[in-house]
Structure 1
């Protein structure tokens, strides 16, 4: 299977399995390493909410062996409309895997308008580039 086909297959499985994994939590993330087509375990991720002029820390987690955090939003807080930021600590991950990277961290800022929906943020990662989108 070509690397491109592996990537598309992984993305398809990601979308399907994320629904089952995050049924009770409004926010999940997934990191896939585009260099080798594999999940990226061990990436530290923080979640913050924009309040006034500042970012308020809400939660943190580490991606599992599948490169996922299925429940990133804290269970004891209401999911409110507003701006949020997920920060992927990619520099730490690449240092552990003995790779150089141009991006020591990747912040993804997103807006929540419909609090009854699930928000899934996949990160497609390589040492010198990345892509992200709103999954479901």
Structure 2
């Protein structure tokens, strides 16, 4: 866990800092059973039929992006797409993959404060669900 020391002597973990962010993702490699670090993840929002890019980050050493929604913005209700660039990731590990990317389209209805999108991936299959 990364720790930030503030001038006042307070300690905050990276997880605490991301706690206010309404969207996180997690990528696990089903073939190895290990987290997938350095997977590019793109967040977009559908506005009037057009996908608008909001953010892009890479998964950390634990296969997570703990704060994918843009900082200092309020999550709006609507349709979003998280795209995991799995083909690039597998290629960087000298493996073939059937899926060049995995798009996950989901609806934010305001029912919960935090949305978590886990991705379980292998070179020839994937699964996802609404996590917590």
TM (normalized to structure 2)? 0.85
Give CA-to-partner distance per residue, 1:13-49, whole Å, 9 cap, x none. Answer: xxxxxx8674210000000000010000010000000
**Distance apart, 1:115 and its partner CA:** 6.5
Checking the alignment, whether the CA contact within 8 Å between 1:79 and 1:115 is kept in structure 2 is no
Q: Residue 69 of structure 2 is aligned with which of 57, 65, 73?
A: 73
Higher strand share: 2
Distance 2:120 2:16 in 1: 21
Matched position secondary structure for 1:114 = coil
The answer for the alignment partner of 1:37 in structure 2 is 33
Higher helix share: 1
The Cα RMSD (Å) is 1.5
**Distance apart, 1:76 and its partner CA:** 2.9
Matched position secondary structure for 2:89 = helix
Matched position secondary structure for 2:88 = helix
Matched position secondary structure for 1:104 = coil
1:118 and 2:114 aligned: yes
Distance 2:97 2:17 in 1: 30
Matched position secondary structure for 2:21 = coil
Aligned residues: 118
The answer for the alignment partner of 1:135 in structure 2 is 131
Distance 2:129 2:108 in 1: 14
Larger CA Rg, structure 1 vs 2? 2
**Distance apart, 1:78 and its partner CA:** 1.8
How is 1:89-100 mapped onto 2 (pairs within 5 angstroms)?
Answer: 89-100=85-96
Structure 2 unaligned residues grouped into runs of 5+ = 1-14
Checking the alignment, whether the CA contact within 8 Å between 1:21 and 1:70 is kept in structure 2 is no
The answer for the alignment partner of 2:48 in structure 1 is 52
**Distance apart, 1:116 and its partner CA:** 5.1
The answer for the alignment partner of 1:61 in structure 2 is 57
